[in-house]
Amino acid sequence: MGIFTSLGQLEEAIPLIERKGAKVRTVYSPIDCREILQKVGVRKTSPVRFATLLGGLAGLSLGVGFAIYTFLEWKFVTSGKPTPPAVPLVVVGFEMTILFGFLSTLLCMLFLCGLPRLRGSQGYDPRFSKDRFGLLLECDRAQREEIEISLEQAGAEEVRVLRTRETSQ
């Protein structure tokens, strides 16, 4: 795994390493940087959007449906208006759409990010939240040396080896 001071070096490092045959596991970064995703080859946009859509629709139908139900429950005439009246449903529906859409987005996002998580993951370094970038790679023992070297060439300020199932000393 390599720790970089600048995003630029990190960006250059990724293709270089991948050519060497190592796989990028995780990129740690203090900022949201779209370019990394490109390099790592992940689509920018996330499936959260669909949750949003569903949530919104659910909210809309629930709001309107519930309001109508309550009107029919007692059929109180107020201000000579019909029960159920059409106009007020707009407001109810609108607010519910937003509320549910928002909440479903939130939950889905947390879920996909694997939050909340209790224990720090392997290889995480507090500096990542400040000004350092981390590049966690996976490779077989054979390539290790070579990759470490190329990481340093790429400008990694520090290169660290983590013991995992497939990588051993």
Q: Which residues bind other proteins (CB under 8 A)?
A: 7, 26-34, 36-37, 40, 42, 44-46, 48-49, 52, 66-67, 70-71, 73-74, 76-82, 85, 88-89, 91-92, 94-96, 98-99, 101-103, 105-106, 108-110, 112-121, 124, 126-131
What is the smallest separation between the CB atom of 15 and other proteins, expressed in angstroms? Answer: 15
Residue with Cβ nearer other proteins (50 or 149): 50
Do residues 12 and 153 lie in contact, with contact meaning Cβ atoms separated by under 8 Å?
Answer: no
Do residues 56 and 101 lie in contact, with contact meaning Cβ atoms separated by under 8 Å?
Answer: yes
Say if residue 4 is exposed, middle or buried (CB neighbours under 10 Å; 0-12, 13-18, 19+): buried
What is the smallest separation between the CB atom of 59 and other proteins, expressed in angstroms? Answer: 10
What is the smallest separation between the CB atom of 169 and other proteins, expressed in angstroms? Answer: 25
What is the smallest separation between the CB atom of 12 and other proteins, expressed in angstroms? Answer: 14
CB burial readout 6-28, b (16+ within 10 A) else e = ebebbbbbbeebeeeebebebbb
What is the smallest separation between the CB atom of 140 and other proteins, expressed in angstroms? Answer: 23
Phi, psi of 3 (to 5 degrees): -115, 125
Residue with Cβ nearer other proteins (8 or 21): 8
Residue with Cβ nearer other proteins (44 or 165): 44
Residue with Cβ nearer other proteins (20 or 124): 124
Residue with Cβ nearer other proteins (106 or 139): 106
Do residues 81 and 118 lie in contact, with contact meaning Cβ atoms separated by under 8 Å?
Answer: no
C-alpha span between 54 and 11 (Å, rounded)? 36
C-alpha span between 8 and 52 (Å, rounded)? 34
